[in-house]
Structure 1
């Protein structure tokens, strides 16, 4: 039981040392992730459509 108590005590101690982001930073980083995901999605979609059309030209079914 002492080991469990020590573990949680040390975990809480370490969490107090963490430099937590502000709500403004969280908002900005969240928007950045959404924008980056959208850009990557558009990039992949473009190449997928291009290769699909090229394959249709090579092998019309």
Structure 2
């Protein structure tokens, strides 16, 4: 088992190998995720509304 200091040294070395995205790429991906989340929320809301209408018609309420 390695010591915590050795482990942290290896972690620091691995961080130098990370290729971080540019701010433009990160912003683009963030906007895509937000757009998809909003689209799914709208879809789920519409489906909920439609199922509520159908169930209320079937139940006679």
After TM superposition, is the score higher than 0.5?
yes
Two-structure CA RMSD over aligned residues (Å)? 1.2
The two structures have a TM-score, normalised by structure 2, of 0.90
Higher helix share: 1
Q: Which runs of 5 or more structure 2 residues have no equivalent in the other structure?
A: none
The two structures have a TM-score, normalised by structure 1, of 0.90
TM-aligned CA deviation for residue 5 of structure 1: 1.1
Q: Which runs of 5 or more structure 1 residues have no equivalent in the other structure?
A: none
Q: In 2, distance between residues paired with 1:60 and 1:22?
A: 57
Runs of 4+ in 1 over 6 A off after TM superposition: none
TM-aligned CA deviation for residue 6 of structure 1: 0.5
Aligned partner of 2:25 in structure 1 is 25
- Number of aligned residue pairs: 60
